Amino acid sequence: METTIVNHKSKFLAIAEQTKSSLISALPLVVSEAQTALENLDIPTSRHEEWKYTRTTKLQNERFSIQKSSTASIDYRPFEALRLVFVNGVYNASLSDHEKIDGLSIRFDEEIKEQTLIGFDIASSSNFFEALQRATSTSALHIQAEKGAVIEKPIHIVHLIDAAQTLATPSIFVKVHQSASLEINESFISSDATASGLTIRQLWAQVDKNARLEYNKMQDENDLSYQMCLEDIQLADDAYSNFNTLTLNGGWVRNDLRIALNGKNIESNLSGFYLPRNKQLIDNHTKVDHRYPHCVSNELYKGILFDQSTGVFNGKVYVRKDAQKTNAYQNNANIIAGDQAVMNTKPELEIYADDVKCSHGTTTGQLDESAMWYLRSRGIGVDAARRLLTSAFINDVISKISNQQVAEFVIADLTEKNLLYV
């Protein structure tokens, strides 16, 4: 037993040893700390509370490595945006757009200077995968909207995996300066059914005073893929953020989204849907941390679990002692559509302030039988009836996407996957 664990770990340690992290010049301490942490931390297993339902056994048995890209062109432009492409976790300049936009700066890898990363809340690695990401970071991207800049053009970060057994560990820094406004869309895709691997993408975002960030994350890798998204978002006074986690497909998906409300009068919206099929696993861990008074947070996650799939939702909401007049809402609703599908949901509210409005609700049910009967009695087959009800169920999550083109793309994609009926 002991030796197998060491063996699995050693595969990853070997990669880390051979890889120069893209964070090395700007964040040398973070990288060396991560290297040490890798030695000391174990790969999480279901014995760890945070990984109770999300098994890493299969992942540990894989042999990942950092891969070169073979993609020469990519015609993936589902909506109008400035496109930045990563292939196998590495920034690809020739596939990316280079349009100059007033008030927006975009930098990669060595172009990123240490002083521009001041203020990002880069805590020390709390688990093995975080350390692995920092120690091996395949590329780094720094996006900055200057003070007062309202960036109309959406950004679209595309992560393409085009080789098998790939380890992709990109880092993304986003800074929206005071009173600026920015929309970022991020897609994770596979070039075909076999190109897959482990993606660990870390996002650090700062939304400064009175600034706005719209973020739509679209996960659409193939069934063989493993994907982990680590997200640390800090919001300042009067900031607004709207973060949507739209899981369209993926074999094994883990999202760790942590939002710190570091000021007053902040509005933070978190939404997501997941529609796992076959034996897919989709895990959403979220943490909303209210630290100051007069803030609002809304959270809505919805899932339909087909076939033998597994879903995990763990939503932590902290309301600290000073965070009076907080409004914090959380809702997680699930439909079990597959005979052997399982949903594990756990809201965790910790409230230390007394003058607050907080609510949470979780439901897990079946597709409404009487609705199915009504639809079928009108000539609609079982399959289409299910899709109509699926559309109805996740419609309120889709409506949180403020960019109409992105919403339409998501609907079209789910329709093509035979999940929606529109």
Partner 1 sequence: MLTIKNLQARVEEKEILKGLNFEVKPGEVHAIMGPNGSGKSTLASVLAGKEDYEITGGEIIFKEKNLLEMSPEVRAREGLFLAFQYPVEIPGVSNINFLKAALSEIRAYRGLPPLTAKEFLQLVNEKSKLVELDGQLTNRSLNEGFSGGEKKRNEIFQMAMLDPTLAILDETDSGLDIDALRIVANGVNAMRSPEKSFVVITHYQRLLDFIVPDFVHVLYKGKIVKSGTKELALELEERGYDWIKEEVEAQA
Least distance to partner 1, CB of residue 297, Å: 24
Least distance to partner 1, CB of residue 220, Å: 24
Least distance to partner 1, CB of residue 391, Å: 7
Residue number, 349 or 367, with CB nearest to partner 1: 367
Classify residue 281 as left (phi > 0), alpha (psi -120 to 50) or beta.
Answer: beta
Least distance to partner 1, CB of residue 373, Å: 6
Least distance to partner 1, CB of residue 413, Å: 18
Least distance to partner 1, CB of residue 395, Å: 5
Chain positions 303 to 342 lying near partner 1, rule: CB under 8 A, are none
Q: In angstroms, rounded to a whole number, what is the distance separating the alpha carbons of residues 121 and 119?
A: 6
Residue number, 114 or 383, with CB nearest to partner 1: 383
Least distance to partner 1, CB of residue 379, Å: 4
In the list 5, 6, 412, 422, the residue contacting partner 1 (rule: CB under 8 A) is 422
Instruction: Check if the beta carbon of residue 191 is closer than 8 Å to that of residue 162.
Output: yes
Q: In angstroms, rounded to a whole number, what is the distance separating the alpha carbons of residues 303 and 368?
A: 15
Own/partner contacts of 360-364, CB < 8 Å, gap of 24 or more, are 360/315, 360/317, 360/329, 360/330, 360/331, 361/330, 361/331, 361/332, 361/333, 362/313, 362/331, 362/332, 362/333, 362/334, 363/332, 363/333, 363/334, 364/333, 364/334, 364/335, 364/336
Say which residues have a Cβ less than 8 Å from residue 377's Cβ, sequence separation at least 6: none
Q: Report residue 309 as tokens.
A: 């799939």
Residue number, 352 or 373, with CB nearest to partner 1: 373
Residue number, 40 or 370, with CB nearest to partner 1: 370
Secondary structure letter of residue 114 according to DSSP: G
Say which residues have a Cβ less than 8 Å from residue 192's Cβ, sequence separation at least 6: 222
| C-alpha closest to that of 333 among 305, 302, 304 | 302
Q: Tokens 């909506």 label which residue? A: 79
Instruction: Check if the beta carbon of residue 383 is closer than 8 Å to that of residue 352.
Output: no
Neighbours of 421 (CB within 10 A): 18
Least distance to partner 1, CB of residue 398, Å: 11
Least distance to partner 1, CB of residue 397, Å: 11
Residue number, 101 or 367, with CB nearest to partner 1: 367
Residue 150 in the binding site for partner 1 (CB under 8 A): no
Site string for partner 1, 363-392 (x = CB under 8 A): -----x-xx-xxxxxxxxxx-xx--xx-xx
Residue number, 250 or 303, with CB nearest to partner 1: 303
Q: In angstroms, rounded to a whole number, what is the distance separating the alpha carbons of residues 257 and 287?
A: 6
Residue number, 150 or 371, with CB nearest to partner 1: 371
Instruction: Check if the beta carbon of residue 363 is closer than 8 Å to that of residue 333.
Output: yes
Residue 395 in the binding site for partner 1 (CB under 8 A): yes
| Alpha helix ranges (H) inside 19-114 | 28-40, 57-61
End-to-end distance of the chain based on CA atoms, in angstroms?
51
Residue number, 365 or 379, with CB nearest to partner 1: 379
Residue number, 180 or 420, with CB nearest to partner 1: 420
Residue 412 in the binding site for partner 1 (CB under 8 A): no
Q: Report residue 365 as tokens.
A: 């049910």
Residue number, 253 or 385, with CB nearest to partner 1: 385
Number of residues that bind partner 1 (CB under 8 A): 24
Residue 393 in the binding site for partner 1 (CB under 8 A): yes
Site string for partner 1, 12-51 (x = CB under 8 A): ----------------------------------------
Least distance to partner 1, CB of residue 337, Å: 16
Q: How distant, in Å, are the alpha carbons of 81, 208, 244, 327 from that of 152?
A: 10, 18, 19, 30
Stretch touching partner 1 by CB under 8 A, among 236-244, 332-340, 393-401, 402-410? 393-401
Chain positions 172 to 201 lying near partner 1, rule: CB under 8 A, are none
Least distance to partner 1, CB of residue 370, Å: 5
Half-sphere exposure of 102 (CA within 13 A, CB side): 4
Residue number, 60 or 391, with CB nearest to partner 1: 391
Residues in contact with partner 1 by the rule CB under 8 A: 368, 370-371, 373-382, 384-385, 388-389, 391-393, 395-396, 421-422
